[in-house]
Amino acid sequence: MKRRLNIFALLILLALTIHTGYTLFYSWEEISTAYKEGYENAKEFPEQPNKQKKKLLSRHDICIRKKAGGTAIIDSIYNTKTNSYIPTDIQKMQISIPDNESAGYKVSIAIMALLLVPTVIAVIVLFLKLIGAIQSALLFTKTNVLRLRWIGGCLLLIAAIYTIGNYMELVSVRSAIEISGYEITSEGMIEFPSLINALIAFLAAEVFAIGLKLKEEQEFTI
């Protein structure tokens, strides 16, 4: 039993590590580009105060859907296997727009990022402590119930932070651009994976609470 538990725990940690690495890998180009642009602008500004400052761009992933009666965007990609072009249906794209976000928007994003990091660390620590307690045959305890509820609460907070951030980004993009014949949708705005994991953690906490109650009743009967 402990061996299977260790395997499942390692698989969960491995999945979390791969997901984090995957996100960082594909975000690195955007992060490095933004850093380079900021560094170059900061370097040029004091030396050339009269030169017009280069306008920074912010990148956003957006989902679009065709409006009723709207004209579709016609595009194609080259298929090297058939040496021919094939038509494409654009539903998601990455755009770069002038960085005109207000100071309040940037402060809000920074605060959410500061909340996100310790929350993720708390989930990992609580999960490792829970696995350690189960390995020590301490299964149905009040501490484990509380750990699971805290994990659920942290995951719920993570889902809320991502959802709020996605909503703010959606509002910002919609106020900056409009695509003829299309509408920018809110697809992917709600962070369902973290929300579902939070509900699973709360469910597991209730199962542990029921097990604890049955254990206490059995000990009292004996």
In a domain, 186, yes or no: yes
For residues 204 and 129, state if they share a domain: yes
pTM for the whole structure = 0.69
Q: 41 vs 54, 99, 149, 180, 213, CA distance in Å?
A: 7, 14, 47, 33, 63
User: In the predicted model, what is the mean pLDDT of the chain?
Assistant: 77
Q: Are residues 151 and 204 in the same domain?
A: yes
**Is 162 part of a structural domain of the chain?**
yes
In the chain, what percentage of residues exceed pLDDT 70? Answer: 74
Q: Is the pLDDT of residue 39 over 70?
A: no
Domain for residue 64, yes or no? no
Indicate if 107 and 207 belong to the same structural domain.
Answer: yes
Q: Name the pLDDT band for 146 (thresholds 50, 70, 90).
A: very high
33 is in which domain, residue-wise?
1-54
pLDDT single digits (tens) 151-201: 999 999 988 988 898 888 888 888 888 887 788 888 878 888 888 888 988
Copy the structure tokens of residue 206.
């209730």
Residue 142 has pLDDT above 80, yes or no: yes
Residues 11 and 113 in one domain: no
Do both 110 and 217 map to the same domain? yes
Question: Is 76 a member of any domain?
Answer: no
213 and 125 in one domain?
A: yes
The number of folded domains in the chain is 2
